[in-house]
Amino acid sequence: MAEAPSGRQSARPASVAARIVDGPHPRGLHCHGRGGAVEGAGMPRSPDAWVVLPSEAEVRALMPPGSPYDFGFLPAMARLVMAHEQYAPLFGALFGQIMFAPGSLSRRERELIAAVTSAAQDCHY
């Protein structure tokens, strides 16, 4: 296992982590994350996957006032979901059902499950 930036063990095997080479995107596009390139297994160096993300202003314009998930900063996941116009409304509706709809779990229990799941996946939010 590779060591995550926080000092914890990353879920990514060291063999995969070792293939990530730092560097800018070849076309100069803004990339979220490492923006490096992957190489290995006899394959030529190729850029990581990238997505053009909406600006913070674009995402904030769509957030309802008093949103319970306004942390004072925008998590990268919010920007990533908003980058996909087809999926963003569906993802938002599904998230709303999972976190806020009546059910056998309390709101606190749902948030606890989300927090543990995020931590298990090395999510830093």
Backbone angles phi, psi at 9, to 5 degrees: -75, 130
Residue of 1, 43, 7 lying closest to 124 (CA atoms): 7
**Domain limits, the chain:** 1-50, 56-120
pLDDT (0 to 100) of residue 74: 82
- State the sign of the Cα–Cα–Cα–Cα dihedral 77, 36, 13, 10: negative
- Total Cβ atoms within 10 A of residue 73: 9
Q: Which residue type occupies 28? A: G
The pTM of this model reads 0.51
pLDDT exceeds cutoff 90 at 75:
no
Each residue's pLDDT tens digit, 79-118: 888 888 898 889 989 999 999 999 999 999 999 999 999 8
Is residue 38 a contact partner of residue 48, using CB atoms and an 8 Å limit?
yes
E strand intervals along the chain: 20-21, 37-40, 43-47
Angle ∠(25,37,16) on CA atoms, nearest 5: 150
Rounded CA separation 116/109 (Å): 11
pLDDT (0 to 100) of residue 4: 46
- Total Cβ atoms within 10 A of residue 114: 15
